[in-house]
Structure 1
Amino acid sequence: MATRVEWAERVGRWERSGLSAEKFARREGYKAKQLYWWRWKLRAEGTSQPSTSSTQAPQFLPVHVVADVSPVVTEPIEIALPNGRVVRVRPGFDPATLERVLALAAEETSC
């Protein structure tokens, strides 16, 4: 009969495998119900990993860099301020200039 530590290790391997409980259990030679029960039991106790130092090294996944697919904005955007003023900004604006314009437009004094 397997110990709690052994089941914690099994559940950890199952969760890292990406397989369904049925496929993993069939491959390992025990029942899927056992995996579900032990996962529930270990989580209820607050641990899902074995208490021993038998941990696996992290695995790295491949990364694919893709081009920026942000939509190209061709229409101006409108920024409605709480004081009722509206600032229209065209594509290609200078962020520093926009920041100054918004600061001035947000003031309560008349422009």
Structure 2
Amino acid sequence: METLQTIAAGYGGRLDVVDLGRRRRFSDDFKLSVVAESYAAGAVITQLARRHGVHPSQIYVWRAQARGDGGGVGRISEPPAFVPVVATGDHGGLCEPSPAPVSAPLVIVLSGARRVEVHPGFDAATLAAVVTTLEDLR
């Protein structure tokens, strides 16, 4: 019988050993815990997959299964989603409006590459008149 070195020599000196192994099986509890962890704030799927020894795409499959899109694993609740917010004038005293922060000037770029820098507290009516006058000078 030939040795691995003899066989490898016939293939240009390169021999790749591939371990096909057995298909791994994960419990539903393990899958659900990984899926729940994947929805945590700041979770990075690739890091999570590396830590648990699975491929990142497997976590997405388990998420779909948990949502009911792929069957197999028990359901978990959906991650939080954005919802529309309607602002009303009445805040019921629950919060006070915060004062305007002191910030850098607002820079308005007009036609002809003209710039107007507006510092906090500048009168809006005067600003409108200045911008209108400068735009009319084109």
User: For the superposition of Structure 1 and Structure 2, which TM-score range results when normalised by the shorter chain?
Assistant: 0.3 to 0.5
Q: With structure 1 as the length reference, what TM-score do the two structures score?
A: 0.40
More helix by share: 1
Q: With structure 2 as the length reference, what TM-score do the two structures score?
A: 0.33
| Higher CA-based Rg | 2
